[in-house]
Amino acid sequence: MEFDTIAAISTPSGEGAIAIVRLSGDQALTIADQIYKGKSRLVDVASHTIHYGHIVHPDSEEVIEEVMVSVLRAPRTFTREDIVEINCHGGLVSVNRVLDVVLSEGARLAEPGEFTKRAFLNGRIDLSQAEGVIDLIRAKTDRAMNVAMKQVEGRLSNKIRRLRQQLIETVASVEVNIDYPEYDAEDVTLELLKREARAVREEIEGLLATAKQGKILREGISTAIIGRPNVGKSSLMNSLVHENKAIVTDVPGTTRDVLEEYVNVRGVPLRLIDTAGIRETEDIVEKIGVERSRQVLKEADLILLVINSAEELTEEDEALFEAIRDLNAVIVMNKTDLEKKVDETRLRELAEGRPLIQASLLKDEGIEELEQAIARLFFEEGVETQDLSYVSNARHISLLNQAKKSIDDALEAAELSMPVDMVQIDITRAWEQLGEIIGDNAHDGLIDQLFSQFCLGK
Ligand code: GDP
Ligand code: ZN
């Protein structure tokens, strides 16, 4: 394929001292040569080598920046095009000046995600891998990063390819049987179809079962800390934030970047709801009223309800338990360093089997247990050792569900002893739907939309 040469600053601002201006395309080397002064011309050097030199203004010859330049020739590059990476160690200002001269010499400013889009369009990666790159950029914890890495490596793609292969082979063997209708070919064929279709459906269900965890890893668990005044909500918030370095992520937006705060609890990213609100007013219920707080609670993935163990349960405590009935919650029985006054039997009743953690936030006790309980709620034990191929992308989940539905249709038709080619149509549809996950027959609109989610320079 033929594309123009694109360029962008490819390190996220604020991350480390070195920033890179990256060029990709046929003209990458010639454009770089017009502004680069070093021992040799870049068009003459070997691929995958690094060169010391200076970027100079093409007209005034003024030195703009001292640089290391990497030359990577097609096709062994991320985009499968010639790539030049200009490593600048000056601040943002000089990097932008380098980008300016690169653009003035004929490169075009890359759109967000355009490098990855080229990798996809040039056949270097498939669609689910490209989406893995998006997740990688946004990953909130190491665990989320691992999942995204696996996707980039093609773990999900391989699984999908295997399932498609299985479906296509089934359809093919049915063809054979139709062409040679000896014996009870029709019956044999239906049995084979049903067996294979069930096997594939089971694997799709397995993938879908990982979706909940995948979503959590991607988006974080929205968490509300609630409780009566003075029970220790702020103390809990502070412990969580201090024990687990708060992660502040850049959420890429077009005009403004919003800052979100996360804490990383054993690989589970908690997004603390209305953090600022709680900090300012000390009490979410007090601040927004009981009715609205019910709404907030419903939208939370996790509720941490704090109870003061040094006092008897009050009506307010009971009301809070009522508000979080059937919701995902951990009960924190705080202030265990003081004399116990709370009715623990009643407390256990109200907890309805949900974890009840004894804590003294003042003395730093119980935080470990709380974190364990949270991690256990969201990941089965021992998940660390399992392979981390979660399905975490909404588009993938939807397509997997559609494919499962198509297979169900096929099985239903088979049960009703419909003609075999009717069953085949459904199987073929499932095959197509799985194909869309990895970008077979993905249409341009979808591709543009996907790649526009990237930050600049990726
Ligand atoms: P909030 O109103 O629910 O946010 O409660 P705070 O976190 O502000 O705590 C209220 C008071 O209880 C503060 O004086 C804390 O120092 C104290 N406190 C918090 N946790 C404990 C604990 O485990 N033991 C004791 N004795 N006091 C605590
Ligand atoms: Zn407080």
pLDDT per residue as tens digits for the range 365-407: 999 999 989 888 876 543 443 455 667 677 888 899 999 999 9
Interface pTM, i.e. ipTM: 0.98
Question: CA-to-CA distance for 122 and 1, rounded, in angstroms?
Answer: 7
Q: What pLDDT sits at residue 386? A: 45
The answer, yes or no, to whether any atom of ligand 1 lies below 6 A from the CB of 366, is no
* Rounded-to-integer distance, Cα 364 and Cα 353, Å: 25
Could you read off the pLDDT of 170-217 as tens digits, one per residue? 777 666 555 555 545 555 677 888 888 999 999 998 888 777 667 676
Cα(138)–Cα(405) distance, integer angstroms: 31
19-24: strand order across its sheet: 36-38, 49-56, 63-72, 83-88, 19-24, 6-9, 108-109
User: What is the model's pTM?
Assistant: 0.53
| Ligand 1 neighbourhood includes 282 CB (under 6 angstroms) | yes
Quick check: do 141-210+392-438 and 219-385 share a fold? no
Q: Is the CB of 335 under 6 A from ligand 1?
A: yes
pLDDT tens digit string along 9-43? 876 544 455 678 999 999 999 999 999 999 999 99
Query: What is the domain partition of the chain in residue ranges?
Result: 6-126, 141-210+392-438, 219-385
> What DSSP line would sit under 277-328, residue for residue?
HHHHHS-HHHHHHHHHHHHHHHH-SEEEEEEETTS---HHHHHHHHHTTTS-
CATH 3.40.50.300, domain 219-385, yes or no: yes
Measuring from atom 14 of ligand 1, which residue has the nearest CA? 230
More confident residue, 59 or 309: 309
Q: How many residues comprise the chain?
A: 458
Four-way CATH pick for 6-126: 3.30.1360.120, 1.20.1090.10, 3.30.1180.20, 3.30.230.10: 3.30.1360.120
Across the chain, what does the average pLDDT equal? 78
What angle, rounded to 10 degrees, do the helices at 444-451 and 127-138 form? Answer: 20
Binding positions for K(+)? 230, 249, 251, 254
Amino acid at 435: G
Pairwise CA distance, residues 263 & 178, whole Å: 59
Q: Which fold has domain 141-210+392-438?
A: Four Helix Bundle (Hemerythrin (Met), subunit A) (1.20.120)
pLDDT interval class at 251 (50, 70, 90): very low
Q: Which ligand is nearest to the CA of 232?
A: 1
CA–CA dist 284, 288 (Å, integer)? 6
Please give the C-alpha separations between residue 364 and each of 40, 243, 279, 308, 334, in angstroms, as whole numbers.
62, 10, 20, 15, 11
Q: Specify the pLDDT at position 13.
A: 44
Q: CB of 364 closer than 6 A to ligand 1?
A: no
Taking the C-alpha atoms of residue 98 and residue 391, their distance in angstroms, rounded to an integer, is 40
Cα–Cα distance measured from residue 87 to residue 85, given in angstroms and rounded to the nearest whole number = 6
Higher pLDDT, 20 or 245: 20
Torsion angles phi and psi, residue 250, rounded to 5: -85, 120
Residue 358: which H helix or E strand, with range? strand 356-358
Q: What are phi and psi of 48, to 5 degrees?
A: 55, 45
> pLDDT class for 292, splitting at 50, 70, 90?
low
How many other CB atoms are there within 10 angstroms of residue 253's CB atom? 8
337 lines ligand 1 (CB under 6 A): yes
Point out the ligand nearest to the CA of residue 307. Answer: 1
Is the sign of the CA dihedral 6, 12, 14, 19 positive or negative? negative
Contact between residue 114 and residue 6 where contact means Cβ atoms under 8 Å apart: yes
CA 237 to ligand 2 center in whole angstroms: 9
What is the pLDDT, as a whole number, of residue 126?
79
Per residue in 134-161, pLDDT (tens digit) is: 776 666 666 666 677 677 667 788 888 8
Handedness of CA 233, 235, 238, 240 (dihedral sign): negative
For residue 221, the CA-to-ligand 2 centroid distance in Å is 22
**Residue to probe by mutation, ligand 1, list 360, 361, 365, 370, most atoms within 8 Å of CB:** 361
Per-residue DSSP letter, 383? G
